[in-house]
Amino acid sequence: MKEETLKPLCVYVHIPFCLSKCAYCDFLSFSYKDCTACGDRAKYVDALCLEIGNSAKKLAGYCVSTIYFGGGTPTVLEIDEIEKITKRLQTHYKIDKNAEITIEANPETCDFEKLEALCKMGFNRISFGVQSWNDKLLKRLGREHTAQTAKQAISDARLAGFDNISIDLMFALPGQSIEDWRQTLDKTIVFLPEHISCYGLTVEDGTPMSLESGLVLPSDEEDRKMYSVAKEILEHAGYIHYEISNFSKENRHSRHNTNYWTGGDYIGFGLGAHSFIDGKRFSNIDNFDEYNCSCFENGYTEIDPCKLTRRECIEEFVILGLRLRAGICEREFAARFGEDIMTVFSAQVQKYVSQGLICRGNGRIFLTDGGINISNKIFVDFLQ
C-alpha cells in the first residue's frame, strides 16, 4: 500500500505503575514497587509488547502520526523496558517521520541520563506532572516530588535535548489561595515550557482525599477566579488558549489530544486502554491478571466493541469540538454528516447564543468565556 493512501492513527500506550498513589487519583494504576517485587511489572511489559505486535495486521492501513505513553507514570519503567516497547511499535507500524512522540513523567522518576536516553530513543515531547510549586500543597496531594525536584527535572530535560515540554498544573486545591495560584503560574512561565495544562481538582469517590474528614476546598467562585487568572497570565505571556484546559505556544498544541477532540482514529494499548477506529469504540480488559493472561493466551484483550450510531457520532463530534476554543466548523459538520448543524441543533445553538454563552460567526460555533464556565451544563443540552 502506498504511503499516501494510509490513514492517520494516534497510538496511546498505558503504563499503569506509579511510585505511590496520589490522594486524589482514581486512575487505573498500581504500586511500582509491589509489581516489581512479584515480577508483575516485567510480565506486563511482555504482555503489552505481544498486544502491540498482534494488533499490527488489523491496522495495516494506517500511518502513526502521534504516540503517547501515559499512565500511571511511564518513566518509572527502566530504560530498557521503555525501549523494548518503542522498538515493538517501530517494528510493526509505519510511523510518520514527523510524528509527535510524548511521554508523561513525574519529576522524581527522571534524571539526566534517563531523559537523554528517552530523547535518543525518539521521544520528542515530555509532559511533567508538576501540579504545584508549593511543597505543602504537593504533600497534601500525596505527590512524591518537591518543587526543587521538579525544577531539576525540567532543567535536565532541556539539557537532554527536549525542545517540547509540557507542564501540568492543578488549581482549586485544599488550602490553595488565589495568590498561591498566581505564584504557581508565574513560576511555571519562567521555564518557558511550550505547553501548559491547567486542571481544576476533582475529588473522586473512593480516593483517600474523598475520605478525608474536614476537607475544605475553594468555593466555586474562587475556582472560576483561578481559571480566569490562568487565562489572564498565560495569554499575556504569549500562550494560546486552544482548549478549555490547555495553553500552548504557536504550533505546540498537543497533536495527540487534539486528535481525540476532533474525532480522529486512535488505538490504545495496555491495561484498560480505549480505542476508536472507523466509528467503532472498544476497550481493553481492566483487570491486571486477566489482561496479562489474555495477551499471552490470545494475543489480544479487546472487549466491549461498540459501533456508534450516527446520532452518537454527531453528539460526540459537537461536544468534543466545543472543548476547543476554535469550536466547530459548520462546513466540516455538513461534510461529515450530510446535513447542516443548525438543522440538528438549532434550538440549542440559538438558546445559548441569546444568553451570550455560545458565539456563531465566520462559519464556526464556539463557547464564549461565560460558556466555558458552565460548559458541562451546555454539553448535556446537546445530548439526545
> Over the stretch 97-135, which tens digit does the pLDDT of each residue have?
999 999 999 999 999 999 999 999 999 999 999 999 999
Residues 62 and 172 in one domain: yes
Tell me, yes or no, whether 237 and 367 share the same domain.
Answer: no
Is residue 220 in a domain?
yes
CATH of the domain at 352: 1.10.10
**Residue 298 forms part of a structural domain:** no
Q: Does 274 reside within a domain?
A: no
85, 226: one domain: yes
Give alpha helix (H) positions in the chain. Answer: 32-37, 40-54, 79-92, 112-121, 135-141, 147-160, 178-189, 220-236, 255-261, 288-298, 310-323, 330-337, 341-354, 369-373, 375-381
Do 158 and 60 sit in the same domain of this protein? yes
- The structure's pTM equals 0.93
Domain at 201, CATH number:
3.20.20.70
Same-domain status, 235 and 341: no
Q: Summarize the confidence of residues 315-336 as an average pLDDT.
A: 96
Q: Check whether residue 30 and residue 172 sit in a common domain.
A: yes
Judge whether 76 lies within some domain. Answer: yes
If one counts the domains in the chain, the total is 2
Classify residue 326 as exposed, middle or buried by CB count within 10 Å of its CB (0-12, 13-18, 19+): exposed
pLDDT value at 3 more than 50? no
Residue-wise pLDDT tens digits, 151-191:
999 999 999 999 999 999 999 999 899 999 999 999 999 99
Instruction: Tell me, yes or no, whether 243 and 324 share the same domain.
Output: no
Q: Give the position of cell 497570565.
A: 233
In a domain, 289, yes or no: no
**Same structural domain for residues 65 and 160?**
yes
The residues with which 70 forms a beta bridge, in sequence order, are 14
- The Cα–Cα gap between 81 and 339 comes to 49
Residues 250 and 377 in one domain: no
Q: Alpha-carbon distance 106 to 115, whole Å?
A: 12
Share of the chain above pLDDT 70, in %: 93
Residue of 257, 245, 138, 269 whose CA lies nearest to 197: 245
On whether both 171 and 88 belong to a single domain, the answer is: yes
| Residue 281 counted as domain residue | no
Burial of residue 290 (number of CB atoms within 10 Å: 0-12, 13-18, 19+): middle
Q: Stretch 208-226: mean pLDDT, rounded?
A: 83
Are 37 and 155 contained in the same domain? yes
Q: Is residue 197 part of a domain?
A: yes
Confirm whether 268 is domain-assigned: no
Between CA 238 and CA 240 the distance in angstroms is 7
Range of the domain at 360: 310-381
Let me know whether 324 and 183 are in one domain. no
